[in-house]
Structures are given as C-alpha cells and as structure tokens.
Chain A
Amino acid sequence: MSKTLLLTKSNLKKNRGTSAGLFLLMTIAACLIGISLLVFFDAYPVAEREAARLNAGDGYLSVTGNVDGITDEKIEEIIEEDTESYYIYRNLAYSNNPIPFGNGEVVITSQFSDSSAFEMPMNTCEVVKEDSSVTEDYIYLPYQFNTAGGFETGDTFEVDLGGTKHSYTVKGFLNVAYGGCNNNALYSFVLDDDSYDELAEEGADENIMIIFDLKDDVTVGAFLISTSTEILTLNPMAVVSGYDLPQVLGSRTFMALIIAVSFLVLTFLIVAAVAMMLANCISNYIKENMKTLGALKAIGYTGGDIKGSLVVWFLIIAAVASAVGIVLAYLLMPVFAGIIVGQMGIPYAVSFNMLATVIPAGFVLIFTLLVTLIASAKVTKILPIVALREGIESHNFRKNHAALSSTPLSLNMGLAVKTFFGNIKQNVITFFVIGLMVFSCVVSLLMYENFSRHPKLELLATEICAGVVTSDVDSKEEIRSYLEDRSDIKNVREIISMNFYYNEEAILYTYVVEDPAKMDNQNVCYKGRLPQYDNEIAISGAFARDYGFEIGDEIEMDYGDNSYTYLVTGYIQTLNNAGREALVTYDGANHIVETEMIPGWFWFDLTDESDDNKVNEEEVERIIDECKDKYDGHILSTMNFFEIMNGSMTTFQSISTMMLVIMCTVSVVVIGLILYLLIKSLIYHKRKDYGIYKALGYTSGSLMLQTALSFMPSVIASVSIFSVVWYYLANPYMSTFMGMFGLVKCTFDIPISGVVMIAIGFAVISFLLALVQTRRIKKIEAYNMLVAE
C-alpha cells in the first residue's frame, strides 16, 4: 500500500494541471447533481411539511355560485361519517377572475376572507411578511405575489372584481396551503374587515370552504365525488370544486421537479465528458510514462500496484471534488431556492439532506473508480522490456494527410490539418463534448423561447385564443351574434369547463367544446382524435394510463345524478389538474349537464394578429371594452389572453432564463476545461515538434494558430452536425421528458437564428479558448524544447 501511495503522491505532484482540470470537471458534476437532488428531495417534502404545519388536512371542497340551502349542519351530516376532523368556513369568491400578477394578470378563482381567516384551526393563514403601518383598505396576498408576482408591502393592488375596480394597499403576504399558487387555479386573499364587508355588499358570491381530514379507510377521490354529488342534491345550482392535497402539492412543485430533472440531464452530459477525459488522461499517462512504468515493473512493481496508484490518484481528486461540489451546491442552493420558491409560493430554507449529500459523492467516486479501472486495464499487460523501449508507438502515421507540396491549403492550415489527423482521438472527444454541450444549450434555448421570450400559452392551457367574453344566459345568442358580426375578430367558439366524475374514483376537469375542429390548439390531442359526435370523449393520457383506458374503450362519466357512457376517441395532454382532464362536445355534455343553463363563454381570435403582443393586448382590450359598453350588465367576465400570457408565464420566465444562462455558462466552462486538458497533453506530446518548428523559424503565433486551428474541424463538424440533429431531436426529447409531467407531444418553437448563434458562438468561443490554452507554446524557446527531448 505504501508503494501505491508513493506512486500516487508522485503522480499528483507531476500532473498538477491535469489533476486540477479533472478536479474542476468533477466539482461541477458533483455540484449540479447536488443541486438537482436537493431540489428533487426537498421541494415536495417542504410543501408537504408546510401543509401539515398549516393543518391542511387531506383536502378542500369549495362550494360557491348558488349556496342557498347548503347549511353547515347539512354539510356536517354529509361529511361527518368519513372525516376525522373538518372545518367549515364561509368567505367570498370570484370564479375565473383576472388578477394582476407579474408582468400581466392571471385568470383564476379568487377567494376573499376577512381577518377571521387568521383564526381558522385548519388551513391556517400564516403571515410571512407584514407592514404593520398599513391600517386601512388593505389586503394580504399569497406569498407567491411577493416571490414571483412583483409585489411588495405598501404597494397598491388594483383589481377588477365583478365589474368594479378596487384598490387596496398590500399589508402583507400569506403562507397558505390551498390558494397559494397559480398552478392550483386558486388564490386566497385576506382583506380588512371593512373592505370585506364592502365586497359582500357588492354581491360577491358566497363560498363555503370545507377543509377535511379523512378517516384512514376513505380515499380523497371517492370522498370528493360523493360529497360533491350530495351537495349538488342540496342545491343543483351550486358550483363544487375539490382540491386533493397531494394534487395541490404536486401542482405547486412540478416546476421545481422539471428543473431538478433538467439539471440531472445536464449533469449526465458533463459526467460523459468527464469519463472521456478521464480515459484520455490515463491513456496519456501511460504513453508519457512508458519508460517509468517499464522501470517500475523491472524493479518489481506489479501491474496492480501501478493501477492502484492510478485509482488512488483519481479517487483522491474525485473525493475532494465531491466534497467541494456538495459544499458549492449548498452555497448556490439559495439562488435556485429563490426561483423555485417563486413558483411554489412557500417559505423555504435550505436544510441538510443526507441523500442529496451522499448520492453525488458516491456517484462521482464509483464512476471514477469504474472508468479508471477500465481505462488503466492495459497497464497490467505491458511487459517491462517493451515499456523500457517505449514499445507503444506514439506516432503511427500511415498516411501523409494534406501533403504540403500538393494541398491547396495555406501552410498554417496544412499543418493544422496534419495536427488534426495526428490527434484524432482528442478531436473525437472534442466533437462529442461540444455536441453534448450544444444539446444542453439548444434545449435551454427552446425553454427560454417558449416559456420566456415568446411564451407559448398552449403549454399551460388546453385552448388558446385572443380573448374570452362571458355573457349571462339570457343574452347568450345576442352577444354571440354581435361577436360573430365583428370584422376585427374571427373564429368565435363556445368552450366551458366543469368537473365530470369517473366511477366515484376520479374527478376529470372537462372541457366542453362546441366544435373541437374550431380549436386553435389542435395539438392538445396527441393520439387518436378529438370527439366529433355526442357519444365521444377524449381523455388525458395520464388518466388513461392510470385507469387502463385505451382508444375505443367505453367510459361512464357522472355529473350529479346523471351519467352517460362515452367512447374514448383520443388522448389529450395537459400539465394541469394532475393530468386528469377530458374533452367533450356540447352535444356530448348535454347527456349529463344542461349546457343551455350555463352562461355563454365565447372565445375568439383576432382577425389581424400582430407580431407584437402589446399591440394585440391593446386590440383585445378595445374589443372587450366595446362589448362591455354595448352589453353593460350582461357581461359576466372577460379575459384578455395576451395579458394573461405575461402573468401566467411570469414564474416560468425567470426559471427558463436562469436555465439558459446556467446551461450556456456551464457549457463554456466545460468546453474550456476539456480543451485545457486536451491541448495541455497535445503540447506535451508535440513539444519536440514545436522545438523543431521553432528552430526552423516558425513563430509562436503561427504555432499557436496551427494548434488552435487543428481542433476546428471537429468543433465545426460538431456544431454543424449536432445543431441540426438537436434542432430536430429537441422536441422528441422534450416530449419524453415532459411526458412525465403530462405533456406528451411537444411542438415547441426553436428559433433557427438562436441555434445558428449557439453553433457560431461555440465555434468562436472554442477557437478563442483553444488559442488561449496554446499560449504556453509562447513561453518555451526552441533550444529548451530541443534539449528537453
């Protein structure tokens, strides 16, 4: 063992640069794995822990709309048998109301409570941040409004509620289990008592909040369905919505998990690069130290001793790199946590996580051990005498590439091509490493383009449009005709949504669409087709998978006391509602719901849509205002999708921008490190040649240029080939990746100009980095190079 340590010490001392390069690569890998796992292991448990602390129970039922006849006593009768504990609380609600958030607004169900909300024994509202100097006309907003929505205490919060504009001062922010995040389709606000009373007087819908903790043998899905059905028997005009706690927590944390998985993918790309470099370093070590190895073997060192020294050498680097990488992960985590908290809207502090600490270290160490053992296997086979004669040929060129007498290339280019062919292994490594880095940047670009630069709302919404006007039942036809007659809008279509129930087990958030062929988002159906007839239904892929449905199967859906059996025609994709969604036609829904009694939801597109969303936003605003002016009192609500787009995508924008910046930075650092290791080894191997060239009269500049240029064929080939390959494979990759979250068929836009910029950027940066790495040629004089041989 002492022999091995002696050799290890010598290796570490002699190969400081290589050790440092590998150390940095392994540190980056360990750090990224650490961050990914910290997010992965922490996000959901933190949300779960907070929900338990706020006593959120197992779920929450919201009863709103018309709640006449639904008394606390009757509710208690319905739920008492199935629950361990429950709490009934009454407040106010606005369904699908636009709420200012971030750069725009979100259309969401909003619930308003008075100060008694702070006394609730279940689903407690906890104040996270507060300005006690604000004493009147104030509002407490969910914490997400602070972390991602751009609000601070003391700010003015202006909101249109039921057609009346209200202005409140932000007093503080709430940590709340239900209604804390836009992904849950529900926001909970607390007003001062006077403002609350004012809202009640204006005729806001009453909302009954039922928080429940179920008995062990009762499932949340079955409870929500049976209770909803019984409540609807009390009053069929009531609107009942159920929130299952795990589903709520899943919605709050899915973006954090997407980040975690994205980082893990990037980490594996870096790990692949480290593996190639590690194998290359060992191969170089054997080549460079052939005589020494021969001498060591001659004096009695075994192949195992030498291999052991290599293993210990690289394991020491891996161990130190893992430790530093994990510490870095904890140090950098607050930056990531800040962005993740923005999406979750939950107070979060980084804490020690055993698994996230042990796994990166274990992985880096085991991976290093395996690669080292495999790459150093040939050491045992080298005979001492062969090694002493430097038996392994370092130059074995059988073809004179780019013959200088006949090549059309310039002298520098010709010599660069010769260097390229002389270092084909290093160039293959460069080719693949850059290809992997191009992949990570193209995927980041895709996310930035579709989540931030030109947000693609169909990622989050099943249908997209320019605007929506909701009319009361009486004016439905008149308003529809008015909209259809307008020349500035087109494709007026009716779409509503409601909860359908499956077999008292699952709730499906169902889109009832007048004519599915008129939907803008035809990609919503990724397999089969959308329903055309009244006996057809499309269901989400995740639901189909969980409950074993296939296209062509029959499924019985319930609504209240009604039920009907539909034929499954296709699978739809969604990131929302825990992947439990369905889509039927109006005629189809009429089997179990009287759609004529439901207000008219008219979706429309702009006839002349501009490339500038600001212009579109103003145009939709104008149309909505004209509609309101004409049908004052009959318009229940409106939605401007261009405004919603900015609000809904706010949390995704910061995350996708961060991803792009991190991926590009890490890619450049990795390319720099790989080139450093490759060029360092190349210069070492070619030091004699550089001496000869310098003696002949080559300048350092021309030798640096030749060396840097020799990597360019592989760099250019890599960026050219891989930018095209990833351009076409990014969407299939995203489909596989996002499929885990419910988005099965991705049709993201990838800007060709962005991909070209990545390709050119990588080529230029690689050349400049290579040129910088070759500067060591400058420091060595011809005479020293020759005598060094």
Chain B
Amino acid sequence: MQNIIETKKLCKTFSNGGVQQHVLKNIDLEIYEGDFTIIMGASGAGKSTLLYSLSGMDKPTLGSITFAGTEITKKNTDELALFRRDHCGFVFQQVYLVDSMSVLDNLMAAGLLVNKDKKAVAQKAGELLKAVNIDEPLWNKFPTQISGGEAQRVGIARALINNPKMVFADEPTGALNSQTGKAVLDTLTGFNEKGQSIVMVTHDITSARRGNRILYVKDGEIAGECLLGKYVTGDKERHQKLNDFLTTMGW
C-alpha cells in the first residue's frame, strides 16, 4: 500500500515559562492511502498535536513530515495554507463552521479556494450536502440555526469539497449524542469505503471501531498499532480485538 504521509523523528515541544514539555518524541510513522487511521490515547498523550502536525496546521519542533511526496516541515505558514487547501480536509470536534455564512457558503468558501468555477463548486457542494443527508432547505440556513449533528455533517462535506488526499478528523463525535454521532461516523465510513483516506483522533471505542488501523499514542510516542481490517457492521471479533489491544496499551 502506498503511503501518503511519512514522518521521521517527529518531535514537538512546548515551552511555558522556561518549562519544556515534550509532547511528541521522535515519531516515525507512515499513513497509507485509503486507510481509515485512528489515533487513540489518553488525554494529554499528544494525539491532537500529532494530528495537527501531520496536517500542516501546526509546525513540529524537529523531524520531518513528507505529505504526498512533499516535505512540509520547511514550508512557511502561507505555503502551508496553500498546501492544506489542495491536500487536506478537516473535521473538528467543535465543528468550526463560519457562523456568519450560510451552510452552502461554508462549502463555497472552501471550494472556491481551489476551483474558481463557481458553478462547478456550487454543484459539488450540493452533491456533498445531499450525500451527508443535508436537505436543500437547510443550505441557506446559518450554522446556529441547524442541529449539532447536521452542523458536523456539513463540516464533513466542507472537508471533502476539494477532493483532499486526506481528511483529518479531531474527535468529530465528541460533542454529539450517540445517535447523531453514529450518523456522522456512518458518513465518514461511507466516504472511506469510496476510497477517501481519513485520519481520526478519538478516545471513543465505538468511533475507533470504524478504523482499519489503530495507532495508540502514549507519552508522545506511538506505543502500539492494531490492524483491524475493513469495517463491517456487527463484527464482534473486530470489537474484541480492539478491546484486547487497548487493554494491552493500558487503556
């Protein structure tokens, strides 16, 4: 399988008042195309820092990250922004839709960065919104006027508008109830089944079960890895395997 992201000796250190905290320590990692990669770990283990470093949202302190054949650690913030718009999609726990824009405009604002053809972007946005079960009457509503689950699905549609090589999802169901969370996971799983590569941070086993590869981060290092294979609904053996892995990791 071809890798999309490769890190070498990736380190991230935060300094606060002269006190240094090493959040990521010499991580060597490969993320593969088509995978639904899950990053798990305890709070403060460094999983979100790893996610944002991999996506070029945050800059590592040391080491290198090669994304789709491009070394991104040497890029400045504007170069990283240009890189992200072409290669990355993001789904956040807090959704982070722009409140002053309609649902459709949230997608358009991302899509028009890459494709200047308004008609084509609007058509693609419509298709994605339909694909995440956001009906047309909601398209002109504002984020504050729709439910949390709907907003998160709009967030997923926005993440996909530019056909990114990778979607990065940070606890996408963290702020949702189980029913709406399931709908969001179904959406992500559906896109992954169609070939979309996803890296998702979660501390929820139900969410983690959707991935085919689980990485466990502990004290800033990849402590273990578990391969689950493609997600199948009601696969109890898969569930057990994940539980055993997490138990081994001290979850």
- Give every chain B residue within 8 A of A694 (Cβ-Cβ): 77, 81
Chain A positions 697 through 727: 1 when the CB is less than 8 Å from some CB of chain B, otherwise 0? 1111100000000000000000000000000
A81 at the A/B interface (Cβ < 8 Å)?
Answer: no
**Contact at A405–B122, with CB atoms within 8 Å?**
yes
Is A400 a contact of B105 with CB atoms below 8 Å? yes
Docked-complex contact A692 and B97, CB < 8 angstroms = yes
Among B94, B98, B108, chain A packs the most CB atoms within 10 A around the CB of B98
Q: Is the pair A403, B81 in contact by a Cβ cutoff of 8 Å?
A: no
Name the residue in B77, B88, B100 with the highest tally of chain A Cβ atoms < 10 Å from its Cβ.
Answer: B100
Whether A397 and B81, one on each chain, are in contact in the complex, defined by CB atoms closer than 8 angstroms, is no
Q: Does B58 sit at the interface, judged by CB under 8 A?
A: yes
Report the minimum CB–CB distance from A696 to chain B (whole Å). Answer: 5
Residues of chain A lying within 8 A (CB to CB) of residue B102: 400, 403
Contacts of A403 on B, CB cut-off 8 Å? 102, 104-105, 140
Bound Cα distance from A406 to B126, whole angstroms: 14
Question: A383 at interface (Cβ–Cβ under 8 A)?
Answer: no
CB of A14 closer than 8 Å to a CB of B = no
Chain B residues 166-208 with CB under 8 Å of chain A are none
Binds A, one of B27-35, B65-73, B109-117: B109-117
Q: Is A695 located at the chain interface by the 8 A CB criterion?
A: yes
Contact of A692 among B86, B98, B105, B118 (CB under 8 A): B98
Q: Are A695 and B96 in contact (CB under 8 A)?
A: yes
Which residues of A sit under 8 angstroms from B116, Cβ to Cβ?
A: 411
Q: How would residues 35 to 74 of chain B score, 1 for a CB under 8 Å from any chain A CB and 0 otherwise?
A: 0000000000000000010000111000000000000000
Q: Is the CB of A422 within 8 A of B84?
A: no
A residues less than 8 Å from B81 (CB atoms): 694, 697-700, 782
* A411 adjacent to B57 (CB under 8 Å): no
CB <8 Å contact, A696 and B77: no
Contact B96 A699 (CB under 8 A): no
Residue of A nearest to B142 (CB): A397
B-chain residues with CB within 8 Å of residue A400 when the two chains form the complex: 101-102, 105, 140, 142
CA distance A699 to B77 in the complex (A): 8
Q: Which of A398-425 contact B (CB under 8 A)?
A: 400, 403-406, 411, 415, 418-419, 422
- Whether, in the assembled complex, B244 has its beta carbon less than 8 Å from a beta carbon of chain A, the answer is no
Contact assessment for B86 and A395 in the assembled complex, using a CB-CB cutoff below 8 Å: no
CB atoms of A696 and B84 under 8 A apart: yes
Q: How far is the CB of A656 from chain B (nearest CB, A)?
A: 47
Given A689-B100, A781-B59, verify A405-B94 contact (CB < 8 Å).
no
In the complex the two chains form, is A404's CB within 8 Å of B109's CB? yes
The answer, yes or no, to whether A691 is at the interface (CB within 8 Å) is yes
Q: Closest Cβ of chain A: how far from B83's Cβ, in Å? A: 8
Q: What separation, in Å, do the CA atoms of A537 and B155 have in the docked complex? A: 85
Asked if B235 is an interface residue, CB under 8 A from chain A, the answer is no
Q: Cα distance A695–B88 when bound, in Å?
A: 9
Q: How far is the CA of A417 from the CA of B90 in the complex (A)?
A: 25
Interface centre among A400, A405, A789, by most B CB within 10 Å?
A405
Complex contact B101–A411 (CB within 8 A): no
Task: Find the residue from A411, A697, A701 having the highest chain B CB count within 10 A.
Answer: A697
Contact of A405 with B125 in the complex, beta carbons under 8 Å? yes
Chain A residues within an 8 Å CB radius of B98 = 689, 692-693
The reply to whether A688 and B96 contact each other, CB–CB distance below 8 Å, is: yes
Verify A695–B84 contact, CB threshold 8 A: yes
A476 to B58, CA, bound (A): 96
Give the docked Cα–Cα distance between A548 and B131 (Å). Answer: 87
Is there contact, CB below 8 Å, between B109 and A411?
Answer: yes
CB distance from A368 to the nearest CB of B (A): 33
Name A783's closest neighbour in chain B (CB-CB): B58
Residue total for A at the interface (Cβ-Cβ under 8 A): 31
**Quick check: is A786 within 8 A (CB to CB) of the other chain?**
yes
A395-B108 contact given A405-B125, A695-B57, A782-B81, CB 8 Å threshold: no
The reply to whether A696 and B58 form a contact with Cβ atoms under 8 Å apart is no
For the complex, what is the distance from the CA of A404 to the CA of B101, rounded to whole Å? 9
How far does the alpha carbon of A678 sit from the alpha carbon of B53 in the complex, in Å? 33
Q: Given A403-B105, A418-B100, A786-B92, A395 and B144 touching (CB < 8 A)?
A: yes
User: In the complex, how many angstroms separate the beta carbon of B85 from the nearest chain A beta carbon?
Assistant: 2
CA gap between A786 and B58 in the complex, in Å: 11
Closest to A695 in B: B90
Residues of A within 8 A of B249 (CB): none
Q: What CA separation (Å) do A415 and B82 show in the bound complex?
A: 18
Q: Which of A738-789 contact B (CB under 8 A)?
A: 778, 781-783, 786, 789
For the complex, give the distance between the alpha carbons of A789 and B59 in Å: 19
A421 and chain B: residue at smallest CB distance: B100
Contact with A along B143-169 (1 / 0, CB 8 A): 010000000000000100000000000
Among A419, A778, A781, the most chain B Cβ lie within 10 Å of the Cβ of A781
In whole angstroms, what is the CA distance A418 to B99 when docked?
11
8 Å CB interface, A332-379 against B: none
Q: Do A405 and B96 form a contact, CB below 8 Å, given A696-B90, A697-B81, A698-B81?
A: no
- CB-defined contacts of A782 to chain B, threshold 8 Å: 57, 77, 81
B78 within 8 A of A: yes
List of A residues within 8 angstroms of B99 by Cβ? 395, 397, 689
Say whether A405 contacts B105, CB under 8 Å.
yes
Query: Bound state CA distance, A700 and B77, in angstroms?
Result: 8
CB proximity of A713 to chain B, nearest CB, Å:
16
A15 CA to B82 CA in the complex, in Å?
A: 34
Q: Is the CB of B118 within 8 A of A404?
A: yes
Which residues of chain A come closer than 8 Å to B90, judged between CB atoms? Answer: 695-696
> What is the distance, in angstroms, from B166's C-beta to the closest C-beta of chain A?
13
Chain B's closest residue to A696 (CB) is: B110
A404 and B113: CB pair below 8 A? no
User: Looking across the interface, which residue of chain A has its beta carbon closest to that of B110?
Assistant: A696
User: Which of the residues B97, B104, B144 comes within 8 Å of A405, measured between beta carbons?
Assistant: B104
CB B59 to nearest CB in A, in angstroms, measures 7
CB pair B85 A783 closer than 8 Å:
no
Cβ-defined contact, B112 with A692, below 8 A: no
Q: How far is the CA of A472 from the CA of B83 in the complex (A)?
A: 93
Rounded to whole angstroms, the CA-CA distance of A695 and B92 in the bound complex is 10
Cβ–Cβ contact A701 & B78, under 8 A: yes
B140–chain A nearest beta-carbon distance, Å: 6
Q: How far is the CB of A622 from chain B (nearest CB, A)?
A: 69
Does B86 lie within 8 Å of A697, measured CB to CB?
A: yes
Subset of 26 A-B contacts with CB under 8 Å: A395-B99, A400-B101, A400-B140, A404-B101, A404-B108, A404-B112, A404-B118, A405-B105, A411-B113, A418-B105, A692-B97, A695-B90, A696-B85, A696-B109, A697-B81, A697-B83, A697-B85, A697-B88, A699-B78, A700-B81, A701-B78, A778-B77, A781-B57, A782-B57, A782-B81, A789-B94
Apart from A400-B105, A405-B121, A419-B100, list 19 A-B contacts with CB within 8 A.
A395-B100, A397-B99, A403-B105, A406-B118, A411-B109, A692-B96, A695-B84, A695-B90, A696-B109, A696-B110, A697-B84, A697-B113, A699-B78, A699-B82, A700-B78, A778-B77, A782-B77, A783-B57, A783-B58
Top 8 closest A-B pairs, CB basis?
A697-B85, A404-B108, A783-B58, A405-B122, A400-B102, A699-B78, A697-B84, A395-B99
